[in-house]
Chain A
Amino acid sequence: MKFTLSWLKDHLDTTATVDQVVEAMTMAGLEVEHVEDPGKKLAAFTVAKIVEAVQHPNADKLRVCQVDTKDGRLEIVCGAPNARAGLTTIYAPIGAYVPGSGVTLEARPVRGVVSNGMLCSAKELEIAEESDGIVELAGDLAVGASAVEAFGLEAVIDFEVTPNRPDWLGVRGIARDLAAAGLGTLKPDTAAPVKGAFPCPIEIRVDGDACPVFSGRLIKGVKNGPSPAWLQQKLISVGLRPINALVDVTNLISQDRCRPLHVYDAGKLTGSVIEARLGGEGETLEALDGQTYEVGPEVSVIADGSGAIGLGGVMGGLSTGCSDTTTEVFVESAWFDPIRTAQTGRATGITSDAQYRFARGVDPESLVPGLELATQLILDLCGGEPSEVRVAGHAPPPPAAIVFDRAYVKKLSGLDIGPARIDDILAKLGFAVDGDAVTPPSWRRDVEGKADLVEEVARIEGFDNLPVEPLPEIARPPGGALTVRQRRMRDARRTMAARGYAEAVTWSFMRRDWAELLGGGDEKLVLTNPIAADLSTMRPSALANLIDAAARNAKRGFADAALFEVGPNFRGDQPGDQWTAVTALLAPHPPKSWAKAGGDPLFELKADLLALLDEMGAPTLQVVQGQNAAWWHPGRSARLQLGPKVVVAEFGELHPRILKAIDADGPMLAFEVNLDAIPEPKRKGVKTKPALELSPLMPLKRDFAFLVAADTPAGDLVRPILGADKALIADARIFDVYAGQGVPDGMKSVAVEVVVQPREKTLTDGEIEGLSGRIVAAAEKAIGAKLRG
């Protein structure tokens, strides 16, 4: 919404400057976006008069002018064809910056003649898009007068109107709030009834769904044409295009009062009935913008005997538009429902000034006053004779009274102000105050309850005056502020970062084909309006995003990526379908090093995974190989399970097929942990740890070599060995796996170091032998392992 200070002064008696207006608006809740002050860039430019213009001695197209300026008579070289003696124009002195051409003037010879300044065109001053020669001004302007004054230029204030305040879409509404905020006095309303000379010959009918209330009148004998300069300038100053007097009057009132109107050339109407109704299947309308629109049953249309002649509250039709030849005009002042108008706008794709206003809510009670105001202006500018006003339909009921205990202002806002001041503010804003009952004005349909009234009072009194009061102390939750999930997410990210992974945050949505590759891509999870095709589908896993990130980093020369993300994945669209994953990706391309690298990086990754699970408080998990999802390498991946069903993690090398699909070079290793699958810790509160028993006796180590079937997971040896004597066996560590010479075909040898911790006394040879026997028996029983001879 744009307006100028002078326009504001039509309604507000004030001495405030633009800066003061902007500050008062900001503090009253009118968020100023921008102040465009054309005067600032034209401050150096002044009115001048050409006394003499002669042909330049060395150039056909140049003239050497003697010019009377505020700096005295100067010689100025000018290339404009209209530079002639007697012309009043605009002069720019040496040193001035010319906005339209982007140069700063210097005194330098032009083809041998020094030009002591410049005479300017409207384009060079940026007051017109195109110009043909230098500015031609009225001869009575005084030399030295400012260009700003000569053109009547003013600062334009542009501000954001929040959707609750359509009344701010009219300058009078802004003036009212500023008056309440103490910036001046609201001038009385000038709208007055204009007596009709004859009954309105045009009948109005309304369908309440399309248009609840519609008023209009005919004005005969008008003479249309360009509107006067003051009106044109006013519209131009806020970025509107003057069209003709009749149309300009409607645009002026829309901008001034937030009261959109429409004028029909009554001579072009078919029949004598104007009807507001919903559109029909297949019905079309050629609108004033020259486009043809389908006007279906969701759209409000205005129709005459020929069919649709306008989109209700949005745009008029081309066939009945007013032109210079119009002599009879039918003026419409109607009220369209905000939701219906928004729908009409959406269905047709039109956003006009009228549509914008009606969609936000125009004051229904401005219907007839707006029509009277328009009538008076049309009579003033175009002459003619008006009919009586005709009204059809019913306006929505006015806002209801609110029971308002003034003490609520202090309770809700903290502001300690007396009831007299409260009532004063409300009255200035147009509220009717009657004891406990406060009734909002018809243009404030956003005010529905007492909290809204507190806002009005507080905002006009000033949020600056709000007290600052510390929150009362409250008991803190014993377990800390975080939820279990948040605690885990935080611990997980710091564990991963400590182990050398960089944390990424990637989109929750991805390409649908990537989601499909990762077992997702369900139609239910495809956005209907994605911002880009490659961000269309809620992700089933962050893996594709991390693979892609690693590939993009590799293309920039950083192939050795170790990335992780802690974030949501989606199985479906229900709250329970969202789960929390820690996803890690390792692209093992370490830089060259003189120190030889270690073993298989997959086991580095496994170490990171186990460290993470340990930090998360996960119990011992079972490694299950060969059942991973399709995007894992079939031989180099596994799951970690809790019992037979709950998969806590998958890890391994990624399948080359998925890397290829994402255009990434392998190998890449990854894991994905479902944080929600890790059981929550037992009841919090008990902080003491179990007693620690430290044996004074030396632990002993015994090595065993077992033969097992080649396809038996070697790791399965550990648990039975530990279980052979839980009191004595402290650890069992696989330190060698061997197949080949000396080991039967189809078998492998697994060497295990068992750590035995005597508790009360050193063990005798017999006891050690007995323990060894139990270890061997347990290994055999569990996985058929035989002690290697």
Chain B
Amino acid sequence: MTDLTKLEAELTARVGAAADLAALEAIRVEALGKTGSVSELLKTLGRLTPDERREQGPKINGLRDAVASAIAAKKAALETAELEAKLAAERVDLSLPPPPERKGRVHPTMQVLDEMIAVFADMGFSLAEGPDIEDDFHNFTALNFPPKHPAREMHDTFWLPEDEHGERKVLRTHTSPVQVRVMQRLNEKLPSWIANGQEPPIRVIVPGRTYRSDSDATHTPMFHQMEGLVIDRNIHMGHLKWTLDTFISRYFETPVVETRFRPHHFPFTEPSAEMDVKCDRSGRDVKIGQGTDWMEIVGCGMVHPNILRTCGLDPDEWQGFAFGFGIDRLGTLKYGMPDLRDMFASDVRWLEHYGFSAFQAPNTATGLS
């Protein structure tokens, strides 16, 4: 008769000593397999008398359960150890950097453009556009610059060669020609993006590239302007003042910006004005809303009756205002770039420093910047 106690001790000892899952499986087969030592003992139960069976049955079944549970426990332990060993071998050095990535940037002038659009769209303005190469009519004559008038010379205009009709195209010196394109419909085929006449009331802003033959720290031969035009029956200078005051305060994100309206002269507005903002110009950066200096920030005025007439609007019925901001300049004032020329130099270090993330899309809910 096999000594069950001894057999159990022997098997559990061997299970405990099994080095890996394969050795453990060999022990399982040897003990609990079809012809395993414990299985053979179980088979003997059938040949025993009922009394013997009553006595031996629990013992042999107990032996089987003990061995089986020892194997299961050992198996779990071995599996855990094996996983841990595998994971330990998978260790990497996470102090290493990720692969290099390029940092994309939105140009500050374009960010400022989007900021300005956000503020003006909130006031009910829509966008209008016109071409960079303009004819003399739209850039000058329709805007009440008489031919040969000295005011034309003040614009440092870039000219294209005379055509067969003796006419010279210009690079637009301002975005104001689009005022005319917005108010006057032309019977010529134009691309759909170019404004071509709309009925008043009108409330548009016109961003775009503009050109003047000038280059120093505050002038570049190409720059960006944003024109504004409001035409309705009863729009007066008080509305102009509110619009610009409101814009300046929202754009610079300061609750109170002191502004000053001064008379000025532009051929295309009557009365004409310039608006100054209070600022501190003593340091490296101009601080808007502080200090005691005044700085000119926008030219504006009531649209000249001659322009309305040229565009087919009766100045006794329709009136309104126009203004023109330098977009790049507003950018330098808000974000502190020292030299306007750097805006167009495409230095990647400058673009990264002064540029904006793609996801900083300005809107009035989150603030502009």
Contacts and interface: CB of A to CB of B under 8 A. Distances in A.
A390 interface: no
B304 interface: yes
Nearest to B264: A29
Interface string B234-261: 1111110111011000000000000011
A72 interface: no
B168 to A, nearest CB: 8
A14 interface: no
A695 interface: no
B193 A676 contact: yes
A483 interface: yes
A138 interface: no
B346 A467 contact: no
A558 interface: yes
A31 B132 contact: no
B159 A527 contact: yes
B222 A503 contact: no
Interface stretch (B33-41, B98-106, B278-286): B98-106
Contacts of B127: 481-483, 486
Contacts of B149: 163
Contacts of B298: none
B197 interface: no
Contacts of A573: 133, 160, 163, 169
Interface residues of A, number: 107
Interface stretch (B9-17, B69-77, B347-355): B347-355
Contacts of B347: 552-553, 556
A111 interface: no
Contact of A503 (B243, B260, B351): B351
Contact of A528 (B161, B351, B352, B359): B161
A467 B238 contact: yes
Contacts of B101: 500
Contacts of B104: 496-502, 562
Nearest to B151: A163
Contact of B123 (A471, A546, A556, A595): A471
A490 B127 CA distance: 13
A643 interface: no
A636 interface: no
A574 B133 CA distance: 7
A508 interface: yes
A466 B237 contact: yes
Nearest to A460: B263
Given A452-B270, A502-B355, A481 B261 contact: no
B99 A529 contact: no
A576 B109 contact: no
Interface string A140-169: 000000000000000000000011110000
A503 B238 contact: no
B358 A474 contact: no
Contacts, number: 277
Contacts of B211: 508
B110 interface: yes
Nearest to B212: A531
B242 A468 contact: yes
A624 to B, nearest CB: 25
A570 to B, nearest CB: 7
A575 B263 contact: no
A576 B125 CA distance: 25
A575 B117 contact: no
A38 to B, nearest CB: 23
Interface stretch (B42-50, B53-61, B79-87, B184-192): B184-192
Interface in A521-560: 523-531, 535, 538, 545-546, 549, 552-553, 556, 558, 560
Interface string A578-603: 10100000000011011101000000
Contacts of A449: 270, 305
Contact of A451 (B203, B270, B358): B270
Interface in B204-249: 207, 209, 211, 213-215, 221-222, 230, 232, 234-239, 241-243, 245-246
A503 B355 contact: yes
A504 interface: yes
A483 B129 contact: yes
B357 interface: yes
Interface in B318-348: 319, 343-344, 346-348
B262 A463 contact: yes
Contacts of B239: 414, 469-471
Nearest to B275: A463
B221 A531 contact: yes
A199 B98 CA distance: 100
Contact of A529 (B98, B213, B237, B361): B213
B124 interface: yes
Q: Interface centre among A470, A503, A560, by most B CB within 10 Å?
A: A503
Given A29-B265, A165-B265, A458-B271, A469 B238 contact: yes
A535 B221 contact: yes
A342 B154 CA distance: 13
A562 B106 contact: no
B289 interface: no
Contact of A523 (B121, B161, B270, B361): B161
A414 B271 CA distance: 12
B262 A500 contact: no
Contact of B346 (A482, A553, A568): A553
A530 B117 CA distance: 32
A465 to B, nearest CB: 10
A472 interface: yes
B159 A28 contact: no
A471 B243 contact: yes
Contacts of A506: 344, 346
A412 interface: yes
A567 interface: yes
Contacts of B203: 471, 474
Nearest to B221: A531
Contacts of A466: 237-238, 241, 261
A767 interface: no
A497 B201 CA distance: 37
A413 interface: yes
Contacts of B128: 483
A560 B304 CA distance: 52
Contacts of B262: 26-27, 29, 31, 463
A499 B168 CA distance: 42
A411 interface: yes
A493 interface: yes
Contacts of A529: 158-159, 213
B103 A502 contact: yes
A570 B194 CA distance: 15
B263 A455 contact: yes
B165 interface: no
A356 B265 CA distance: 18
A359 interface: yes
A561 interface: yes
Nearest to A339: B148
In the A-B complex, the 10 residue pairs with the closest CB atoms: A29-B263, A414-B238, A455-B271, A500-B102, A549-B346, A162-B265, A497-B358, A497-B104, A481-B121, A467-B238
23 contacts: A29-B265, A163-B149, A164-B265, A412-B237, A452-B270, A458-B237, A458-B271, A470-B239, A471-B239, A474-B203, A482-B126, A485-B193, A494-B106, A503-B110, A507-B221, A507-B344, A524-B160, A524-B163, A535-B221, A575-B190, A578-B191, A580-B193, A590-B100
Given A451-B271, A524-B161, A558-B348, 17 more contacts: A342-B148, A452-B270, A482-B126, A501-B104, A502-B102, A507-B344, A525-B160, A529-B213, A530-B158, A531-B221, A546-B346, A549-B346, A553-B348, A563-B346, A573-B163, A575-B131, A594-B96
Interface of A: 26-29, 31, 162-165, 338-339, 342-343, 359-360, 410-415, 449, 451-452, 454-455, 458-459, 463-464, 466-474, 476-477, 480-486, 490, 493-509, 523-531, 535, 538, 545-546, 549, 552-553, 556, 558, 560-563, 566-568, 570, 573-578, 580, 590-591, 593-595, 597, 676, 680
